[in-house]
Amino acid sequence: MARLALKTDPQYGNAATILGMNLLRLGREEEGRRQLEQAFENDPFNIWTMNMLRVLDAMADFETRRTEHFIVRMHPSDAGTLWPYLEPLLEESWQTLTAKYEFEPQGPILVEVFQDHEDFAVRTSGLPDIGPVVGVCFGKVITLDSPQALKPPRSANWQEIVWHEFTHVITLQMARNRLPRWLSEGISVYEENNGRPEWGRRQDLELVKAVQEGRILPVRTLNEGFSKATSTEALSFAYYQSYLVVEYIVERFGFQSLKDLIYQYRTPKQAEDMFVSVFQVPLASFEKGFSTWLDDRVRRIDVYVHQEAAAEQPSPHEDETVIPAAPSLPESLTPEAVAETLRKRTMAQPRDFEAHFQLGLILSKNADDDDAIRHLKIARDLLPEYAGAPNPRQILADLYQARGDETAMLQELEALAQYQQNAFDACYRLAKAYLDRKNDAKAIYFLERAIAVDPYQPDVHRLLATTAYKTADYERAIREYKILTVLETTDPVSAYTDLAQAYLAGGNKKEAKSSVLLALEIAPAFERAQNILLDSLTPENISR
């Protein structure tokens, strides 16, 4: 349509802008830029045109990496750190999801990773301030926030986001880009849950409240949960309800029926006809079945939600930290008075998660208060998969640590890491504790988990590198030492020397020599590097 508009009026700058932006979203970047430059000549005051050209200029310094199925562009500050993890993750997502959906998307898939959130927003929409969105898929193009762009830091698992967005590539191309948003997002969240045990959205508390308040949207209008969301919490729940519909479809009708439904959207049809064709029941009957299934799920959750306690758990992709609150309590009350009110609530409703948790938080100020542990344990057991921050398990772990009970602390942290995909602190604490206990395998697992949240911490990579080296896992050690040569700005000599040592231990004398020479260029008298250089030389090298 933009081409037709330009054919009618070649000077219509806005049509050139629309054409250029959509060519970029199709991955046709050279042609898209030419159109935007032409649009700028016609109208230098168009904000979308100017924004897009500025971001394209910033992307001129990006590095390009390739795999069999992906082209990835990213800022140099990400390339050396992120790529060693992103490359295998992308190919794993391709192999896993193309096999599962029996569909191979048209590629290569272009992935662009931005270290600045506003650049990501402009590349995606033409305007900054895109809100809590951190990844977008256009079918053949994925735009992503780098982990260093997330606000606050460590608020999401960047690997989970990548998996979520590639799922969109599969489903959008299967449906020729006609898929409604609720179904596309629901499937992507569903595949989050299947990608890794700790991934996925756990919003049981919000679900109970939404059912109680009648906020569950009919499937026929579920798209409005996205287009008419009035808050990030409402948007978050639209994702979650969409996922629940997908889970219901798979559980009740089978996974093949989900694939059949995707293909139904290839051609314009009424939703009623699609659902009858796939599920052999009218949409109204489908809705009724889903409602019954949802009511049963709420009964199994079996948590009391105080009518005035409106705290909602955000999605892991949002940038808020929510503490279970009791809005019905006047702010002027002292902590003692609040605690007394919460005690009365727990006595009146023993399954009031928020009251137990809030009371436990207040009492936890005194690490010797056994009552704090009692209420936190009750809250933990009421919602064992609660993934919000702070978390009953996190507070319990801190209390157990203060009491010197390391075994109990580790149990709580492990359970927290099982359900919270961005549990960086818990994973790092667990890794160090297991290193002290000589359990290298568990330490490596939790260090990898920490990197999936924040890949920019040299201490984490150093621990992982030394542990891998100690266990003769030289491939992993080399990967980590190479990353440290990028991150370790205070002592690059040691970083290159350690990398050379790992190459040498792994039998690669050529790379060992190359790495250690980089160290010796900076510090020619460094004896350890000199020794590694000698060890890396073959007899032929020495004789020459």
Choose one of 291, 310, 329: the last residue of a domain.
310
Render pLDDT for 103-141 as a digit per residue (tens, 0 to 9).
Answer: 999 989 999 999 999 999 999 999 998 888 999 999 999
What is the rounded CA–CA span in Å between residue 102 and residue 92? Answer: 15
Per-residue tokens: 29 = 């970047």
Choose one of 11, 40, 61: the last residue of a domain.
61
DSSP for 115-150 reads: SSHHHHHHHHHSSS--TT--EEE-SSEEEEE-GGG-
Residue 468 lies in a domain: yes
Q: CB–CB of 48/126 below 8 Å?
A: yes
What is the rounded CA–CA span in Å between residue 486 and residue 496? Answer: 10
- For residue 505, what is the domain's CATH number? 1.25.40.10
The parent domain of residue 242 ranges over 199-310
Residue 440 lies in a domain: no
User: Which residue do the tokens 């818990």 mark?
Assistant: 426
Q: CB–CB of 275/283 below 8 Å?
A: yes
Half-sphere exposure for 119 (CA within 13 Å, toward CB): 22
Q: CB–CB of 203/315 below 8 Å?
A: yes
Residue 121 lies in a domain: no
User: Which residue do the tokens 């659902």 mark?
Assistant: 275
Choose one of 61, 85, 100: the last residue of a domain.
61
- The pLDDT value given to residue 293: 97
Q: CB–CB of 208/184 below 8 Å?
A: no
What is the rounded CA–CA span in Å between residue 207 and residue 215? Answer: 9
Residue 472 lies in a domain: yes
Calculate ∠ Cα 22-25-26, nearest 5°.
95
Residue 52 lies in a domain: yes
Domains contained in the chain, number: 3
Cβ count within 10 A of residue 64: 10
DSSP assigned state of 106: S
Residue 137 to residues 17, 141, 507, Cα–Cα distance (Å)? 20, 6, 42
Residue 513 lies in a domain: yes
- Which residues lie below 8 Å from residue 461, measured CB to CB, with a gap of 6+? 451, 480, 483, 484, 487
> For the chain, which residues score pLDDT lower than 50?
310-328, 543-544
Residue 425 lies in a domain: no
Cβ count within 10 A of residue 181: 16
- The pLDDT value given to residue 399: 96
Residue 210 lies in a domain: yes
What is the rounded CA–CA span in Å between residue 532 and residue 544? Answer: 18
Does this model's pTM top 0.85?
A: yes
